[in-house]
Structure 1
Amino acid sequence: MHSTSRQRRLTAVALTALAVAVSATACSSGSGSSAAKDSEGGTYTIWDPYPQFDKGSAWAKLLDDCGTKAGVKIKRTAFDTSDLSNKALLAAQQDNSADVLIVDNPVVSTLAEAGVLTTTDDNKLDTSKTDSNLLAAGQSGGKTYGTPIGANTLALYYNKEVLEAAGVDIASVKDWKSLTAALGKVKKAGKKGITFSAIGTEEGSFQFLPWFWGSGAQLTGLDSPEGVSALALWKGWLDKGYAPNSVISNTQTTSWQEFASGDYAFAENGTWQLANAEKAGFEYGVLPIPGADGGNAAAPTGGEFVTVPVQGDTGRYATSQKLVTCLTSTENLYDTDTTLSYVAPTSEVQDKQVASDAKLKPWVEAVKAAKGRTSDDLGTKYPKISEQMWKAVQSALSGAQSPKDALAKAQSAVK
């Protein structure tokens, strides 16, 4: 695909995002350089959202190693996650895209619909071993744009000491009814029930989604009876004192800090807290979030996709494909996902992770049940739906509206 084709494909979505990008980058200190190419010298550019890893890190060395195997030199630039998608859109407009772009999975559909990314059919990337539920986060219009490098998701951490003191057998917690009953026992025993993040941002939607999806609701119908039941569950916990009013302003970080105090039985949080859990000073366990009537609820996936942006020089795709294949190979995924605290996107590497660390088993189960926020072909519709969702959660939990009225208003705003 030539640059002129890409210019025609850049949609209104891209132009809007580019306007945001200009204002955002104007005041940014910026850690990155341009994606200038050096085809004669065999230089290929990779952009990633991991500024925490410097040139001497295992991650940077892996990039260089993959470049060596492909016979090229790697020029890597790391951006903050929020800055990366804007930079990618601007670069595409200027025909100056990176050869390989590693980007947060909800952004993939935005870039794809903007005409920034090639499909896996275009670049001959093999995704056959990737779990289909994880791959779906990078699909739009029936096409796949890249492959996940790993995934994280949400589950319930629990404090074994608090539950034992309250006479709660964790094996009994299998659905919403039994979880709520456990919270009641914990409160009666003088401890605190559950903490989570219901803040009025994407974090709030991210944490509400397992309960929303676990009710059987779909994002295309926010005000369905199932969706209302999920919000009513959260509101009921606050009304009964099973969850603190602080959840309305909690981020996932402050919610974790509450759990780390040792007073709470449960906390909804992610794989990224595993290292902190080991330092908490009490015995903990992890339970996949239960669905309303049992089973594991679908929690949203976090993590990045490795993609190949559209290039004016289509001859670059073959080497870019080699780089992506190297980065996401079975051999390299295990080390990379261990570094990033991710669950691997393939069953083969997941099994290896669990064999090495049994504590990862519930997380693998949670990831296998997980779902991309932009799945179901929502694509760029998701951000608007999410915004109305978190506003409804805030309204209901604060008591401003009933769960039913809050979600009815949200659905009306989405339409």
Structure 2
Amino acid sequence: MRSKMKAILLVLASIMIMAGCSSNTANNGGSAAPASNEPAAAENGGAASTDEKVELTFYYPVAVGGPLTQIIEQMAADFTKENPNITVKPVYTGSYDDTMIKTQASVQGKTPPDVAVLLSTELYTLLDMDAIVPLDDMIAADGGDEYINDFYPGFMANSQTGGQTWGIPFQRSTIVLYYNKEAFKAAGLDPEKAPKTWDELADYAKKLTKDGQWGLEIPTTGFQYWMFQTFALQNGKNLMSDDGKQVFFNTPENVEALAFWRDLSAVHKAMPEGSIEWATVPSDFIEGKTAMMYHTTGNLTNVKNNAQFDFGVSILPASKQHGTPTGGGNFYIFKGTSEAKQQAAWKFIKFMTEPERMAQWSIDTGYVAPRESAYETEKMKAYTAEFPQALVARDQLQYASAELSTHNNGKVVKAFNDSLQSVLTGGADPAAALQKAQEEADKVLAPFNK
């Protein structure tokens, strides 16, 4: 009897083992899951299994005006039409900050998105969270150097660290100067010549200021660290080290730069005092409430479609040299998802960053197409021939540097933003404010410098 029972148990155990192997194969597109978090390249060049149905959750933010949600959702639908086994579910997650908060909560809750667009500056924070996968193996299997080297180096600076690639540039930008040519004419200024230096910027802004119209608006909320970085780069050097472990806020050059920004309103009376909201500056420009503005090129199409006057776009005025930080968001692929999902996410990123699609994205939004080959497409050549303002942000990349990005980036940026705000809207002394920001940032970064 015992021998019969043993035989029956052995048969049952064998059946269970075979069923388990079959289940593992089905769940992983026909191959065993890798031991590493780095997904193995699929034989078809990084794509998911041709038989397995995959659903991707895609978080994306909107930080500029215009119908971006409709554009993103249509692009995702076009991808699914071409890849019927991969369904992309776009989830609009608010601003960049809102999207990062939602992403952090999802990662901590072990339900991360499969793919997301987040600020390129969140790279070190995402690495500290152990949230994202390196993309080098997928790039090598599908596109290689020909693909990755086609992205502008200025945009890759916030996408790579430690010899690895972690993000793929998507909705990327630089800060540009927009100006109302009709207002220039009325003030006796040449409408074809934007200010080239800080002195000219202050002079033009004063001449353009009149009842109902400011000469210049530069946002002092939301992304004030980014706006200040333009002045820092033009007057000295970048604000952080390449490894994201140090910041250089309290320098004589930065004190001078912050005083110049403050004086545009406090001394020259050419810019509103108090808070200048990020989201309302483009509306003020379109409505003629300001003759010039500093803003992201991501608002270019919004301005083009809504301004009822002739306007120009220029690279930013220089102090000791030209300079601008890059900006905007990258694609990231997240850990904690299946290999099939990671490979499908990579296929989606490749689709979204194809040259023709990047060209159309730039035309539709105003963001810089992050790939050089996008500017060689016929549609982009035709568009920029008709609307040369679309080339300014791209051409300014020769002067661009990486946007402020550090470990524990949220706390570092908050300390810096608060200090900038205290000067721009509260009358604090620039040197004292930058010293305070430096001390607070040094404390935040101390654990990363042991």
Distance in 1 (CA, whole Å) between partners of 2:309 and 2:345 is 46
Deviation at 1:266, TM superposition (A): 1.2
Matches within 5 A, 1:151-162: 151-162=172-183
183-192 or 309-318, larger mean C-alpha shift: 183-192
Deviation at 1:286, TM superposition (A): 0.8
The 3-state SS of whatever aligns with 1:252 is: coil
Distance in 2 (CA, whole Å) between partners of 1:145 and 1:325 is 14
Distance verdict in 2 for CA 1:173–1:84, change over 3 Å: closer
Distance in 1 (CA, whole Å) between partners of 2:34 and 2:102 is 17
Amino acid in structure 1 at the alignment position of 2:197: D
Equivalent residue in structure 2 for 1:206, among 226, 235, 251: 226
- Matching residue of 2:217: 195
- Matching residue of 2:370: 345
Amino acid in structure 1 at the alignment position of 2:284: E
Amino acid in structure 2 at the alignment position of 1:393: L
Amino acid in structure 2 at the alignment position of 1:301: G
Unaligned 5+ segments in structure 1 are 7-36
CA offset digits 1:75-127 (Å, max 9, x no partner): 41413144443444454456544443333323333223321111122433642
Distance verdict in 2 for CA 1:339–1:189, change over 3 Å: closer
- Matching residue of 2:27: none
Is 2:381 aligned against 1:361? no
CA offset digits 1:359-397 (Å, max 9, x no partner): 2021222355444424xxx43343333223222222223
Deviation at 1:152, TM superposition (A): 2.5
118-127 or 219-228, larger mean C-alpha shift: 118-127
Given that residues 249 and 434 in structure 2 are in contact (C-alpha distance below 8 angstroms), is that contact kept between their aligned partners in structure 1? yes
Distance in 1 (CA, whole Å) between partners of 2:376 and 2:429 is 44
Distance verdict in 2 for CA 1:406–1:45, change over 3 Å: same
Given that residues 217 and 224 in structure 1 are in contact (C-alpha distance below 8 angstroms), is that contact kept between their aligned partners in structure 2? no
The 3-state SS of whatever aligns with 1:195 is: coil
Given that residues 48 and 78 in structure 1 are in contact (C-alpha distance below 8 angstroms), is that contact kept between their aligned partners in structure 2? yes
The 3-state SS of whatever aligns with 1:194 is: coil
- Matching residue of 1:100: 115
Amino acid in structure 2 at the alignment position of 1:80: T
Equivalent residue in structure 2 for 1:222, among 249, 254, 268: 249
Distance in 2 (CA, whole Å) between partners of 1:413 and 1:117 is 28
- Matching residue of 1:29: none
Amino acid in structure 1 at the alignment position of 2:414: E
Amino acid in structure 2 at the alignment position of 1:363: A
Equivalent residue in structure 1 for 2:126, among 105, 111, 119: 111
Distance in 2 (CA, whole Å) between partners of 1:232 and 1:190 is 26
Matches within 5 A, 1:151-300: 151-169=172-190, 171=193, 173-187=195-209, 192-199=214-221, 202-219=222-239, 220-246=247-273, 248-274=274-300, 275-295=302-322, 297-300=323-326
- Structure of greater Rg: 2
- Matching residue of 1:49: 60
Distance verdict in 2 for CA 1:172–1:205, change over 3 Å: closer
Amino acid in structure 2 at the alignment position of 1:108: L
Distance in 1 (CA, whole Å) between partners of 2:136 and 2:407 is 22
Is 2:350 aligned against 1:328? no
The 3-state SS of whatever aligns with 1:343 is: coil
Tell me the percent identity.
21
Amino acid in structure 2 at the alignment position of 1:204: Q
Unaligned 5+ segments in structure 2 are 1-31, 38-47, 63-67, 240-246, 443-450
270-279 or 124-133, larger mean C-alpha shift: 270-279
Distance in 1 (CA, whole Å) between partners of 2:409 and 2:308 is 39
- Cα RMSD (Å): 3.3
Deviation at 1:317, TM superposition (A): 4.3
- Matching residue of 1:146: 167
CA offset digits 1:29-60 (Å, max 9, x no partner): xxxxxxxx999742141413168646995323
Distance verdict in 2 for CA 1:161–1:381, change over 3 Å: same
- Matching residue of 1:63: 79
- Matching residue of 2:448: none
Deviation at 1:271, TM superposition (A): 2.6
Amino acid in structure 2 at the alignment position of 1:144: T
Given that residues 354 and 360 in structure 1 are in contact (C-alpha distance below 8 angstroms), is that contact kept between their aligned partners in structure 2? no
Distance in 1 (CA, whole Å) between partners of 2:151 and 2:354 is 11
- Matching residue of 2:19: none
Is 2:157 aligned against 1:136? yes
- Matching residue of 2:421: 394
Distance in 2 (CA, whole Å) between partners of 1:293 and 1:403 is 20
Distance verdict in 2 for CA 1:340–1:59, change over 3 Å: farther
Distance in 2 (CA, whole Å) between partners of 1:67 and 1:50 is 24
Given that residues 179 and 194 in structure 2 are in contact (C-alpha distance below 8 angstroms), is that contact kept between their aligned partners in structure 1? no
Amino acid in structure 1 at the alignment position of 2:360: D
Amino acid in structure 2 at the alignment position of 1:194: L
231-240 or 275-284, larger mean C-alpha shift: 275-284
Amino acid in structure 2 at the alignment position of 1:360: A
Distance verdict in 2 for CA 1:150–1:50, change over 3 Å: closer
Distance in 2 (CA, whole Å) between partners of 1:43 and 1:382 is 33
Equivalent residue in structure 2 for 1:373, among 376, 400, 403: 403
Distance in 1 (CA, whole Å) between partners of 2:109 and 2:432 is 46
The 3-state SS of whatever aligns with 2:279 is: helix
Amino acid in structure 2 at the alignment position of 1:149: F
Provide TM-score, normalisation by structure 1.
0.78
Distance verdict in 2 for CA 1:55–1:136, change over 3 Å: closer
Matches within 5 A, 1:7-18: none
Given that residues 217 and 272 in structure 2 are in contact (C-alpha distance below 8 angstroms), is that contact kept between their aligned partners in structure 1? no
Distance in 1 (CA, whole Å) between partners of 2:297 and 2:421 is 25
- Matching residue of 1:11: none
400-409 or 363-372, larger mean C-alpha shift: 363-372
